[in-house]
Amino acid sequence: MGRLPLKEGGGRKERKNVRSSTTFETRLAAIKYYEENGDMSSTVERFFPTLSVEAKRSKKRVVYAWIKDREKIEKACESKLGVPVTGTMLSEHALEVAKELGIDSALFTASGGTAFMSTVYPSV
């Protein structure tokens, strides 16, 4: 039996600050919206309506930085690279390549890499 909660509604607190990245497509859409309207406040309000006043002020600076990096953002949007890939997808692809190269499945398992890391870095 565990201990009783100290207060009502006790338990683990919700995380206050959760970081999330903005996709290149959203960045480019924000840049285009700003160029059409010319008003950064309305741009930030449209794409990030839930932010606090302080966070919106900070996000304005971020959008201005995106405008400076527009060329890089456009290239990233055009490219098919940068697609999210899971570890399982990598392992499956590695197994396919190993099979094509004729590598024995007993020698190559496409593990997550911890076995290799522990031989190179024993403290891992």
**Identity of residue 59:** K
Residues 44 and 60 sit within 8 Å (Cβ to Cβ): yes
Question: What pLDDT score was predicted for residue 124?
Answer: 44
Position 20, amino acid: S
- Sketch the domain layout of the chain as residue ranges: 24-78, 87-120
Sorted by sequence, the CB contacts under 8 Å of residue 90 that are 6+ apart come out as: 110
- The pLDDT assigned to 111 comes to 74
Please list, in sequence order, all residues whose beta carbon lies within 8 angstroms of the beta carbon of residue 46, skipping any fewer than 6 positions away. 30, 33
pLDDT band at 62 (very low <50, low <70, confident <90, very high): very high
Is the pTM of the predicted complex or chain greater than 0.85? no
Q: What is the pLDDT of residues 9-37, one digit of tens each?
A: 666 777 777 777 898 999 999 999 999 99
- The pLDDT > 90 percentage for the chain reads 40
**Integer Cα distance of 117 and 105 in angstroms:** 20
How many residues are present in the chain?
124
Structure tokens at 82: 């940068």
